[in-house]
């Protein structure tokens, strides 16, 4: 599965802030809020503050109060220290919503400002989630590289990560081996020693899970247009709707993994995604079958097997059946 940047930089972001965020990610490995000598807020102060201050100097006064700290004598890192990274992220989200509702993003300056705020929001959320290089488990230092934060097959923490963070109690007889790759639901073997059917099912569908996670992650970084990278226009459109419905953001790692798991378990194939989009915007089953090059009965059977919750997508004003078909004409791929 391709590796994505942990801190996404939104297209159109201020170049100075863009470069600073990329530099911070290059240097941040030993930093975290739990570290004494290498606290992440100090790295933010050194790398991000100068870029944010330089960008703030180019803004008109009516935009400064939407940028955390600007115009108040406080730096971006000061806000993060005063309220904490998680609350700083919530503050940024609130300010971003206020900006969009009051100013809109119709001008080049507005679009750049929104992209810069989104990038700073992603930065803050990523820094809040940044784990230390070492953590204690059962009174001993454990290398963080051994502790995977999330289960291989879903968004739950691995057993070892949950134990290290105090969310899972030790077995009284000390006979239970905590998994560093899987959560309790997806561990290979059950406590009685038998094979876990949930693990076996997830293992068989690992390739689809990885593909869904990759696409959702790509799409969560851009709410403006379909860009999931599936290779099919209708599939990308479906994922665009899905991400907007669930308000998924690039940094929502646990949520993205959980949704990829749900789609995989529901056997929501690319063909079914295509069918949902065509029928959702008013096309008949016969016409959808013609567009996809399959029999009408195949459309009927596939649509009947799609869980109702996966049909419930928001109606987007920029979409229409003509819009969907124009994309199909440009990209005629039709995965099964």
Q: pLDDT digit string (tens) for 259-315?
A: 999 999 999 999 999 999 999 999 999 999 999 999 999 999 999 999 988 998 998
DSSP labels for 261-293?
HHHHHTT--HHHHHHHHHHHTT--HHHHHHHHT
Band (134; pLDDT cuts 50, 70, 90): low
Beta strands in 20-167 (DSSP E): 134-137, 140-143
Task: Work out the angle at residue 17's Cα, subtended by the Cα atoms of residues 12 and 23, and round it to the nearest 5 degrees.
Answer: 120
Q: What pLDDT score does 153 carry?
A: 93
Q: Check: pTM over 0.85? Answer yes or no.
A: no
Which residue carries 């639901």 as its tokens? 185
| Mean pLDDT along residues 129-133 | 72
Which of left, alpha, beta for 166 (phi over 0: left; psi -120 to 50: alpha)? left
Q: What percent of the chain has pLDDT over 90?
A: 43
* Torsion angle of C-alpha atoms 90, 94, 100, 103, degrees rounded to 10: -130
Higher pLDDT, 33 or 336: 33
Band (31; pLDDT cuts 50, 70, 90): confident
Residue 2 has pLDDT above 70, yes or no: no
Higher pLDDT, 148 or 110: 110
Q: What pLDDT score does 37 carry?
A: 84
| Mean pLDDT along residues 114-123 | 90
Please state, in angstroms and rounded to a whole number, the distance separating the CA atoms of residues 230 and 211. 9
Please state, in angstroms and rounded to a whole number, the distance separating the CA atoms of residues 248 and 240. 10
Residue 3 has pLDDT above 60, yes or no: no
Q: What pLDDT score does 9 carry?
A: 85
């Amino acid at each position: 599965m391709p590796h994505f940047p942990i801190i996404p930089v939104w297209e159109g972001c201020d170049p100075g802030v863009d470069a600073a965020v990329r530099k911070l990610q290059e240097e941040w490995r030993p930093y975290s809020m739990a570290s004494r000598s290498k606290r992440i807020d100090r790295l933010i102060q050194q790398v991000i503050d100068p870029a944010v201050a330089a960008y703030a100097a180019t803004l008109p006064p009516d935009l400064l109060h939407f940028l955390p700290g600007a115009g108040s004598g406080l730096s971006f890192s000061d806000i993060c220290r005063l309220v904490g990274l998680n609350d700083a992220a919530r503050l940024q989200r609130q300010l971003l919503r206020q900006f969009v509702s009051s100013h809109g993003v119709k001008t080049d300056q507005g679009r750049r400002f929104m992209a810069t705020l989104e990038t700073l929001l992603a930065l803050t959320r990523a820094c809040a989630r940044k784990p230390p290089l070492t953590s204690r488990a059962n009174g001993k230092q454990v290398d963080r590289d051994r502790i995977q934060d999330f289960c291989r097959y879903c968004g739950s923490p691995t057993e070892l990560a949950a134990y290290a963070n105090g969310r899972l109690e030790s077995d009284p007889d000390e006979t239970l081996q905590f998994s560093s790759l899987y959560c309790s639901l997806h561990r290979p073997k059950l406590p009685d020693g038998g094979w876990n059917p949930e693990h076996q099912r997830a293992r068989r569908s690992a390739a689809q899970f990885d593909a869904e996670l990759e696409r959702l992650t790509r799409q969560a970084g851009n709410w403006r247009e379909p860009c999931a990278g599936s290779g099919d226009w209708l599939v990308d459109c479906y994922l665009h709707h899905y991400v907007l419905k669930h308000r998924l953001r690039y940094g929502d790692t646990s949520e993205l993994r959980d949704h990829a798991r749900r789609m995989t378990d529901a056997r929501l194939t690319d063909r079914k995604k295509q069918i949902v989009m065509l029928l959702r915007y008013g096309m008949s089953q016969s016409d959808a079958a013609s567009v996809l090059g399959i029999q009408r009965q195949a459309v009927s059977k596939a649509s009947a097997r799609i869980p109702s919750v996966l049909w419930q997508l928001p109606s987007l004003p920029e979409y229409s059946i003509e819009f969907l078909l124009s994309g199909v004409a440009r990209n005629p791929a039709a995965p099964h």
